[in-house]
Amino acid sequence: MQDAVQGKMNELLKRIAFTIFMLCVYRAVSQVPVPGIDASALNAFYGQNSGTALDMINKFTGGALQRFSVLALGIMPYITSSIIFSLLTVTFPFFEEVQKESDGHKKITQWSRYFTVVLCLFQGFGLAAFMEAQNVNGSSVVLNPGLQFKFLAVITLMAGTMFLMWLGEQITEKGIGNGISLIIFAGIAAGIPSGMKDTYGLLRTGEIKPFMILILGAFIFAGFWIIVYLERALRKIPVQYAKRVVNNRVYGGQQAHLPVKLNISGVMPPIFASALMAFPMTIASFAPEKWGTVKRFFDAIQQSLAPGQFLYNVIFFGLCVFFAFFYATIQFKTKDISESLQKNGGYIPGIMPGKKTAEFLDYIVDRLTSFGGVYIGLICVLPFLLMDQMNISFFFGGTSLLILVGVAIDTISQIESFLISDRYNKMYKSKGKYNGARAKRF
């Protein structure tokens, strides 16, 4: 028994080590720049555009966009593709039927990968054209603009995103936790040291008062506490299992509960919302200067959708609430749960099995998600309002805070589930051996 326990712990440690190794590989590759970029001009350009929509995208890429690395597109094209196909499975019966097939999930995932390539070509070309148009103090960000640079940049950026997608799948399969979420987590966490350094620099120059630092520290601590508390909040729905007599033995009759999280969708709503909010900037980058009025129109939209602007806050809040409901319906399928309870002789006291149970679960999920969606939206938007009132810029936005805490809690939960499932397997095997020995004796 002790050898088995030690073996399982070694497997867990190997999974954790594999996850850390793959995240280190991700951070190493993110340092490799796309060929043909003037690094000094690029740094000057980002210095002039601090606090814009580029900052938000840059956080999710772990600073890769600021370096115009091969991973500058990040994992967002794959997330956008997943959003589109998730919407299609809910909207169109064809995709819904495909998903219900035995290998339907694999087909949908494969189509998402193919469409990710299309999005990478589109967004990569837009990003390359955007970089070509930038000129800082007479120096172009791109050393040799032209079709050759665009082609090289698009192919390189597409390969980087596909590599990240493969990396995330490897972490999910052979590591611990959700690979895509952990990559985003690592990208955001990588910016914390530089953010702290910049804040300390502002403190030394007197641009930020020590009192403001205390307020920011209190805000971060309160944010962590609120997110941890609400992310672990559950609504326990009582479930009663009917008694059954099989071969003169009574089975069932026990009471249990069905746990429903307050925030069923986890960190996916702000990730989805951020991916969609980054899309207008890609569209705007296609407009050349010679378009005149059209170019100015796209620039106005881009400025209006910069993080912290009123329109950005309103749309981002709405998207967070929408995706909270949307993802909750995908994660918590009330009809399937109702059918499963009915097949296993379970029922909710006071509620008829079948359709009535599904309707009751829908009612519970809608109420919880209404609060959970508003909570996610407020956590993501309020820091922008607070920092705007204090007239400061800080590296810890609400979206980053929610993703960091949410992914950490989810990863810890998966580690706990791994250990608990192993414990139950051992109990089941030991019970089987005991019953087998007793059967031989009699």
Mean pLDDT of the chain: 79
For residue range 249-271, list pLDDT tens digits in order.
655 567 788 888 888 888 888 87
Q: Which CATH superfamily, name and number, covers 215-396? A: SecY subunit domain (1.10.3370.10)
Q: What's the CATH number of domain 1-190, 1.10.3370.10, 3.30.70.100, 2.30.30.40, 3.40.50.2000?
A: 1.10.3370.10
For residue range 9-48, list pLDDT tens digits in order.
788 888 899 999 999 999 999 888 888 888 888 877 776 6
Domain ranges of the chain: 1-190, 215-396
User: What residues does 257 pair with on adjacent strands?
Assistant: 238
For residue range 300-325, list pLDDT tens digits in order.
777 777 776 788 888 889 998 998 99
> pLDDT of the chain along its 442 residues, tens only?
555 556 677 888 888 999 999 999 999 998 888 888 888 888 777 766 655 556 667 777 777 878 888 888 888 888 888 888 887 887 788 888 888 787 888 888 889 999 999 989 988 888 888 788 777 777 778 888 888 888 999 999 999 999 999 999 999 888 888 888 888 888 888 877 777 777 777 778 877 778 777 877 788 788 888 888 888 888 888 888 776 655 666 555 677 888 888 888 888 888 788 777 776 666 665 566 666 676 677 777 777 777 767 888 888 899 989 989 988 888 788 888 888 888 877 888 888 888 888 888 899 999 999 998 899 888 888 777 766 655 555 556 677 888 888 888 888 888 887 777 655 555 545 544 444 444 444 3
